[in-house]
Amino acid sequence: MTEGSVRRSPALFAITIAVSVFTVAPMLVSVAAGLVENYSVGARSGYTLRWLDEVWSQYGSTAWHSIALALACVACAVVVGVPCAYALARSRSRAARAFEELITLPVAVPGLATALALILAYGEWRDFRQSFAFVFVGHAVFTLPFMVRTVAAAFAHDDLVALEEAARSLGAGFVQRFLGVLVPAVLPSIVAGALMVFTLSIGEFNLTWMLHTPLTRTLPVGLADSYASARLEIGSAYTLVFFGVVLPALWLMQWLATFFGPRPVRATR
């Protein structure tokens, strides 16, 4: 299978090596930088965990905030998004198509614009503005389309339409059909969508930076703070925390996803 022109192309091989180094090296440097005493001096300055300690005591809460926020987004996306996806898959009206276009607008438009709009609309509402709910709302609106699109595609499958018709012919009511037949059938897509939503929420910065306050910081916001104000070593250690917190969470969710069936994910991520 691999005896074609690809094998004969040293250029492709060289580029792949170069790109791999380009991508992986900074991650490794960053991890190392968080563990040395002094970055400019390098490994010779000795290894230490003090930066990690400092980061954890100062910024540790942001990790939990981010995870909680991401999970809340997933919950919201499932509860709000799955019925919406069903409606979109079944509805033939022009209004439905228009709605489908509309809800992807928060994705098409820079997060900055969405954040601005939210601040202008609700900035006066003190309690709301200064709570995590404000950040959550931005995340929810931004991540919803990913869940809706993924699951709507699954709902639209011909065999699912047939399944639903069979259930109806046997007398099943709407809620019965929805919870008992449809949702289990599209579960792999829901899990894939949940994974996407989780990943997007954890890594979201553009929106969050504008919406946050010093008391409602997420991991990326904390990172930006530390990059601006603290030493490189602290920034690196904090980045290490990001890797340590986020990657296992991602891998866990991906493992869960394989559990629920190897349906290919439509949207690339």
Partner 1 sequence: MIAACFAPAAALFAAFWLLPMARLVALPATRGAATYFAVLLEPRYLQSLVQTVALALAVTAASLVLGAAVGLYLGRRRFAGRRLLLAALTMPLAFPGVIVGFFVILIGGRQGPFAALTDELLGTRLTFAYGLFGLFIAYVYFSLPRTIVAFTAAAEAMGEELEDAARSLGASGRWIARDVWLPALAPTAGAAGAILFATAMGAFGTAFTLSSRYEVLPITIYNEFTNYANFALAASLSIALGVITWLALFIARRFGPAEVGAAA
- Under a CB-based contact definition with an 8 Å cutoff, are residues 111 and 206 in contact? yes
Binding positions for partner 1, 203-262, rule CB under 8 A: 203-206, 209-210, 220, 223-224, 227-228, 232, 235-236, 239, 242, 246-247, 250
Binding positions for partner 1, 14-43, rule CB under 8 A: 15-16, 19-20, 22-27, 29-30, 33, 39-40
Q: Give me the residues paired with residue 47 across strands.
A: 36
**Residue showing tokens 């791999």:** 20
- Under a CB-based contact definition with an 8 Å cutoff, are residues 220 and 203 in contact? yes
d(CA 198, CA 245): 13
Which residue in 57, 94, 121, 126 binds partner 1 (CB under 8 A)? Answer: 121
- Under a CB-based contact definition with an 8 Å cutoff, are residues 221 and 207 in contact? no
Binding residues for partner 1, rule CB under 8 A, total: 92
Which residue in 63, 146, 212, 237 binds partner 1 (CB under 8 A)? Answer: 146
SS3 state of residue 20: helix
Q: By CB under 8 A, is residue 10 in contact with partner 1?
A: no
Q: Segment near partner 1 (CB under 8 A), from 6-14, 47-55, 67-75, 163-171?
A: 6-14
Which residue in 9, 45, 213, 258 binds partner 1 (CB under 8 A)? Answer: 9
Q: Segment near partner 1 (CB under 8 A), from 46-54, 145-153, 180-188, 255-263?
A: 145-153
Closest approach of partner 1 to the CB of residue 8, in Å: 8
Q: By CB under 8 A, is residue 1 in contact with partner 1?
A: yes
SS3 state of residue 171: coil
Q: Segment near partner 1 (CB under 8 A), from 49-57, 117-125, 157-165, 179-187?
A: 117-125
**Residue showing tokens 């981010």:** 66
CA dihedral 114, 116, 117, 121 (to 10 degrees): 140
Nearest to 225 by CA among 31, 30, 59: 59
Q: Which two tokens stand for residue 73?
A: 């987004």
Binding positions for partner 1, 186-205, rule CB under 8 A: 196, 199-200, 202-205
Q: Segment near partner 1 (CB under 8 A), from 57-65, 90-98, 157-165, 182-190?
A: 90-98
SS3 state of residue 36: strand
